[in-house]
Amino acid sequence: MKSYFLWGMLFFLTVVIFGGIGKTASADDQGNPPVKAAAGIQPISNLNNSWFVIYKIRDHIFAIGEPRYYQHNISYLIAGQKRALLIDAGANATDEMLQVVKSLTDKPVSVLPTHLHFDHVGGLKYFDDIWLLDTPFVRSCKQSDGSYKIPGSFTLGFIDKFELPAIKVNRMVAPDEIIDLGRIKIKVVLAPGHSQDEAVIYDMTDNMLFAGDFIFPGVLIGGNSGQYLDSCTRVIDLINRDTEIYGAHAGENFSLVPKMYVSDIQALKQFLIEFAAGRSEGTLFNIPEFINRGMHHPINDRISYLDQVIWINGQEYKF
């Protein structure tokens, strides 16, 4: 019951922010097509009405959506000739994500969360080859037996009553490390702001950016606006105007793959510059049973920013 309530509140918030149900999609001021038109990648399977829906972006790149989950998470699978990489492990805390991935590739699979919030690591423990971005915080979570135990105060698992068990990490990926999956090279870039361990994964071969919660169509929750601003600069310098950008949560139409634009990151950067100068006060709002309070700042018709967040358990979200 709680999940349906949260979904309803988040959907209502999205509708309020982005102009309401029935709004006609049109190009923005930079000439970009609307998200609905740009993200017209149709599902290739719903796995007999399972939790997941699969979308083919390229012959070797898949989006794995969770449209029934109130946050509408999207994970991504890149299948190289030698190895496949799953970006995020979904919110579903069963082994179903593993079965989905096995249905899409026969290559060895590694999984790399864009960050360690609960809704990106639900199926993590079922994979044999887990990679984590090498940050001081993650290193501090290493236990005497070599496993890593991420505290619930960091995963925010209290929101869904989820606890990530201690995990065996097979590879610590250095920021800016380039990895060859077999004719597909990716670069893993640290982009803190939403979370201190946030990573974006740049597919250098296909010119695609898998942006996690760094940017997606919806409300971007900031834990450190200064780091978020620096990350915007870093990511803009990494990509180009033709880069396809995919976020980790679907937008208003959660049946479509969330494709974003360089101009969205530029708009976010400009907002954060104005925010740092004290020129955006925001409006107070809350989502009962989820967020006790926060300050909301509209940016464009696809994204907005939320800061000064206090979760329903009273925990302030900042780092």
Q: What is the pLDDT of residues 196-231, one digit of tens each?
A: 999 999 999 999 999 999 999 999 999 999 999 999
Cα-Cα-Cα-Cα torsion 151, 130, 187, 262, nearest 10 degrees, comes to -60
pLDDT at 9: 44
Residue in 214, 189, 211 with CA at minimum distance from that of residue 269: 214
Whole-angstrom Cα distance, residue 72 to residue 74?
7
pLDDT at 208: 98
3-state secondary structure of 205: coil
- The reported pLDDT for the residue numbered 252 is 78
Q: What is the CATH number of domain 2-20+29-311?
A: 3.60.15.10
Residue from 227, 163, 139 nearest 191 by CA:
227
Q: Give the residue extent of every domain in the chain.
A: 2-20+29-311
**Which residues of the chain fall short of a pLDDT of 70?**
1-40, 42, 45-49
43-45/53-58 β-pairing: antiparallel
- Tokens of residue 319, six digits: 């780092």
Looking at this protein, which amino acid is placed at residue 45? S
The predicted-structure confidence for 92-147, as pLDDT tens digits, reads as follows 999 999 999 999 999 999 999 999 999 999 999 999 999 999 999 999 999 999 99
For residue 298, the cross-strand partners are 304
pTM of the model: 0.87
Looking at residue 8, what is its pLDDT?
A: 41
Q: Which pLDDT belongs to residue 14?
A: 40
